[in-house]
A = this chain, B = another copy of it.
Amino acid sequence: MNPTTPATAETPRTSARTRARTMRAIVKAAAGPGAEIREVPVPACGPGQLLLKVERAGVCGTDLHIYGWDRWSQERIKPPVTLGHEFVGEIVEVGEGVTEFAVGERVSCESHIVCNHCIACRTGNGHVCENTRILGVDVNGGFAEYVAIPVVNAWRAPANISIEAAAVMEPLGNAVHTTFAGPISGCNLAVTGCGPIGLFAIGVARAAGAARVVASDISPYRLDLARQMKADVVLDAREGKFVERCREITGGAGLDGVLEMSGSAAAVRDGLAALRSGGRLSLLGLPKEPFELDWNRLVIFKGITIHGIIGRRMYETWFEMDQLLGSGRLDLRPAITHVMPMERFDEAIALLRDGRAGKVVLVPWGEKG
C-alpha cells in the first residue's frame, strides 16, 4: 500500500552512489521531425522535488506526434526538451522539505504538474487544471538516466508488481479513469480501439467486474492482443457489424457502456448506436477533426450520458490502480509487447507508427533490461 511511512530524520537525503554530472537523454533538440540522443546535465533536485534514476519508461502515442512534429507539437513544444512522460525510477535524492519519501524507494510518476491553487485543483479536479505543465512535453521528462519530479507527482507502486507495469501506470491511469467514469460491475462494456490504452482498458474492465467485454479494432494484430487481454468477444471493425453483434452478445439489450479509445467518428456513432437506452459513452480517444452526430436518434431519445475523459484523477485513479495491480486482479503483460534499450528509441517509434506493437517500454542506459 501507500505513502504512510515518512522518512525518518536519519534517512540520507542522497544516495551513496556517486553521480556523474551529465547523462544521456532523448531530446527534442530543434523544431522539426525526429529526436536525438544527447549528453545533457543531470537535473538539479530543487525544494519539494525528487531526483529519480529512471528504471523503465513507456513510449506513448504523444511521443509519436512530437517525433513526427505534427501541428499540435509545433504549437506546444519548445525545444530543447527531454521527452518521456511515463516512467518509474529509484529515488536517488530528495529535495528540501520532502519528508514522505526516502532515497532508495521506487516510485511511479504522474506526468501532470498542476498549479494546486486554481479552482479545478482546489476542488479535486487537478486533472483539468488549466495551468498544467506536462513532464516530457513542457518540462524535461523521463527518457533519460535521471529525472527530477515534484514530490506530489510520485506514487509508490505496489511492491509485488513488475517494473514494466510500474513504468506504465501513467497511461494505465487513462484506461482506469475512462473505465471508472461510469458503472462497471456486472455491465456489458465495449472498448473501441485496441492501442495500448485500449488494451489496458480491456484488462481493467475485466478486473473491475464487467460482465462481458467486447473489443473492436481494425488491426488483426491488435485484436489478437485484445484476446490475450481477455476480451470476451473481439470484433473486426472493418466488417461493419459492430452494432448488430453487440445486440446479439447482449441478448438484444444493447451495451451498458462504451470506452472509446480510437478517436474515430465511426466508432463513436457505432458505439452510441450499440448502447442500450440510458447507457454511457466515455471518450478518451482524440478525433483528428470535428465530426457530426445525429443527436436526436443517438443521444437524446436514448437518454445517453457522454463523458469527456482527460488524464487521470489525481490521485484517486492512482489508488484504484494500486488496488487493481497490487491484488493481482489486473495483469498487463500481454499488452506490453516490447521491452528494449532506450538507445533504440527510433526503432520503438517505428514499431508504434507501423502498428506492430502494443506498449513499448524502454530501458535506460546502465539499467538491466
A residues with CB within 8 A of B:
1-4, 6, 47, 97, 100, 115-120, 122-125, 127-128, 130, 151-152, 180, 184-188, 207-212, 232, 250-253, 276-278, 283-284, 286-287, 290-296, 299-310, 313, 315-316, 318-320, 323-324, 326-327, 329
Chain B hits for A232, CB < 8 A? 327
Residue ID in chain B nearest A209 by CB atoms = B209
Shortest distance between the CB of A73 and any CB in chain B (Å): 15
Cβ contact within 8 Å between A277 and B97: no
Cβ contact within 8 Å between A308 and B301: yes
Please give me the 6 A-B residue pairs with the lowest Cβ-Cβ distance, nearest first. A1-B251, A209-B209, A128-B277, A185-B208, A292-B292, A299-B308
Cα distance A304–B188 when bound, in Å? 23
Chain B hits for A120, CB < 8 A? 276-278
Cβ contact within 8 Å between B295 and A292: no
Chain B hits for A296, CB < 8 A? 286-287
State whether A252 and B122 are in contact (beta carbons under 8 Å apart), knowing that A185-B180, A283-B295 are contacts in the complex.
Answer: no
Cα distance A253–B323 when bound, in Å? 11
Shortest distance between the CB of A20 and any CB in chain B (Å): 30
Partner of A128 from the list B302, B306, B313 (CB cut-off 8 Å) is: B302
Cα distance A320–B209 when bound, in Å? 12
Give the oligomeric copy count.
4
Cα distance A151–B121 when bound, in Å? 14
Knowing that A3-B117, A100-B117, A208-B209 are A-B contacts, what are 18 other residue pairs whose CB atoms are under 8 Å apart, sorted by A's residue number?
A: A1-B250, A1-B252, A1-B253, A2-B122, A117-B151, A117-B152, A124-B124, A130-B277, A185-B185, A185-B208, A185-B209, A186-B324, A188-B327, A209-B210, A290-B295, A300-B309, A303-B308, A304-B307
A interface, over-half SS: loop
Chain B hits for A294, CB < 8 A? 290
- Tell which of A4, A185, A329 has the most Cβ of chain B within 10 Å: A185
Partner of A323 from the list B2, B211, B295 (CB cut-off 8 Å) is: B211
State whether A122 and B3 are in contact (beta carbons under 8 Å apart), knowing that A152-B116, A287-B296, A299-B306 are contacts in the complex.
Answer: yes
Residue ID in chain B nearest A251 by CB atoms = B1
